[in-house]
Amino acid sequence: MLIEQREKLRGEIKVPGDRSISQRAVLLGSLAKGTTEIDNFLLGEDCISTIDCFRKMQIGIEIIADNKIRVQGKGLYGLQAPSAPLNTGRSGTAIRLLLGVLSGQPFSSAVVRDEASMKKPVGKVVNHLRQMGAGISGKDDGNFCPLSVSPSKLRGVAFDLSPNEALYKSPLIIAGLYAEGRTAVTVSVKSRDHTELMLNSFGADMEISGLKVTSRMVENLYAQHITIPGDISIAAYYITAGLLVPNSEILIRGVGINPTRTGILDVYKLMGAKIEFLEERLLNNEKVADIRVLSSNLSAVVINGDQIPILWDELPVILVAAAFAKGVTEITGLAGHKIMESNKIKSLSLELSKMGARIFVTEDRVSIEGGKPLKGTVVESYNNSSIAMALSVAGMAAEGETMIRKSQVVDTAFPGFFPLLNKL
């Protein structure tokens, strides 16, 4: 994909439905009794993998026009044993959530991933679920797929999770729906709360008290009509482009502004970004607003480890913003987080360096000396959608032309990313 420097970006757009919420809507709709209808569903690769897994457990899921989904749920205890392994594709969210569900089922099942993801460890979520009594085994003592899940009696456990373990909260509270007693999960910092918010809308008895979430066994969940907010992780690329490209004004309609997901906007406002919320409203317990963005002169900021759990997906594009911001931006406390374990930050930093950015990366920290013009060149996506999209934003604000290799990987996250970018 060839990206040219832009003089301005102007217009009104709408981003696709939130990926994390879309996956949870299919999962909970499958576990609920009755027909759940889902509007503004994200028909991306990860969400299709989630649909496929539940179809293999005899859940009827219909994909309708205009990004609508209809799920014929059979209740918490209505899933059937799959006749083939459940393939979660490349999605880390799908495999974690699915293991939480399967741990409480009265049948055996097998879980695999796509070939490249089979090399990614899953042992941490497996070990947490084992503490509840889950019968999960697999390669290297369950650290890698393929995994086998056998019927077992779950018991409620109290978990205290560190910031880099926040992504295990959802599978644990889902497993808690099948466990005797209470399952209490406390994360030491603010973390995403889509699962508990949606569970309560489906009739679960979730208790939310500060950073602690308590899940308990319920008789059933009940079908809902769900409208998925626009994905702020996708909107983040257009927001950043609007901030960096001069003379820009962008309005993004219907974006989810859940406080556990707006960390990037908090960071940008500290950097001097001109961002405002319009028409704030509530959809299925989730906050939504239209976001107005004006081009801005950004200044460096410090991001510490406590902020990382609400910035996981947006860190790549934040690096791009920091490369254009005046001063030295420091991002600390990265050790142990999936964003570093995946080498995503190191890979993106190398490509931005090719464009003239001064970025220094250690196991725990990233330092970016910003404020100097970047120049377009040939860069690599590493077959990663977030790297490709972040480099696209950098290319629009850099001098000359930027050629991104293997940019087609963006289709796995949002097939319409480039056409929507070209509308502005």
CA nearest to 23, candidates 77, 92, 123, 84: 92
Total H helices, total E strands in the chain: 14, 24
- Calculate the alpha carbon distances from 424 to 9, 233, 295, 418 in Å: 5, 18, 13, 10
Strand-pair partners of 62: 70
State the Cα–Cα distance between residues 251 and 367, nearest whole angstrom.
31
> Which ranges of 251-343 does DSSP label H, i.e. alpha helix?
263-270, 315-324, 338-341
Write down the catalytic residue from 46, 193, 231, 313: 313
CA nearest to 104, candidates 73, 136, 82, 72: 136
Neighbours of 259 (CB within 10 A): 12
Within 8 A by CB and 6+ apart from 350, the residues are none
> Which ranges of 84-136 does DSSP label H, i.e. alpha helix?
92-102, 123-131
At 37, the amino acid letter reads E
Question: Crossing angle of helices 263-270/232-244, nearest 10°?
Answer: 20
Do 421 and 248 contact (CB within 8 A), yes or no? no
Phi, psi of 231 (to 5 degrees): -75, 115
Do 259 and 301 contact (CB within 8 A), yes or no? no
Helix (H) or strand (E) holding 213: strand 212-216
Map residue 208 onto helix, strand or coil. strand
- Calculate the alpha carbon distances from 233 to 6, 197, 389 in Å: 22, 19, 11
CA nearest to 175, candidates 125, 112, 109, 110: 125
State the Cα–Cα distance between residues 76 and 81, nearest whole angstrom.
14
Q: Alpha carbon 83 to chain centroid distance? A: 29
Q: Is 313 a catalytic residue?
A: yes
Neighbours of 293 (CB within 10 A): 24
Would you name the residues annotated as active-site residues? 313
